[in-house]
Amino acid sequence: MNAQQKRTMENTALLIIDVQNDYFPGGKMALEKAEQAGENTKKILEYFRKNNLPVIHIQHISANEGAAFFLPGTSGVEINLLVSPKPGEKIITKHFPNSFRETGLLEYLQSKGIRNLVITGMMTDVCIESTTRAAFDFGFSNTIIGDATATKDRELGGQIIKASEVQRSFLAGISALGNLYSRVTTTRDFINGK
């Protein structure tokens, strides 16, 4: 990391949201391209670790009756080995899509002087979206690593919307109006300082 990149990364933390086993092949809610998103998240995580930048792992544990995945005590709820937390890395448990809702995330970020978030994880159009929009409302400047996120096919009015279209539409919407809610970039461009 050069001097310019160091200045750019001041007061910046990485949020890894819900990169958990149930979203990977064989899990109870497998997403399209989860492995690719997981590998890219791992690259971003390695970049943050190498440069001694703060890392926050968000882990969803289902608390609502009738939940079908991320159930307490199952292997599916565990953070995937690709991005296993290391000692000293913050882990925040959540029970809602928005990582700020009823968690200590905001207070933790404020206590560390964090003003900029780099966001990776799953699902793009649910937990990534709700957390990013909330972060903007709390005054954070956001960057989503688009190829380090993943989702699945959706249904609307009896029609299936393919995961790739959901992904593109979400990323286009969240970065609309001059990156109002978030800048969207790729793993390669982020690591290369673009």
Pairing outcome for strands 55-60 and 141-150: unpaired
Identify the active-site residue in 18, 22, 125, 147.
Answer: 18
Pairing outcome for strands 55-60 and 12-17: parallel
- DSSP letters spanning 27-86: STTPPBTHHHHHHHHHHHHHHHHHTT--EEEEEE---STT--SS-TTSGGGSBPGGGPPP
Confirm whether 94 is a catalytic residue.
yes
Identify the active-site residue in 22, 94, 125, 152.
Answer: 94
- Distance, CA of 2 to CA of 123 (rounded, Å): 32
Identify the active-site residue in 125, 127, 147, 152.
Answer: 127
Confirm whether 18 is a catalytic residue.
yes
Distance of CA 136 to the CA centre of its chain: 14
Closest CA to 93 of 52, 55, 62, 125: 62
Positions marked catalytic: 18, 94, 127
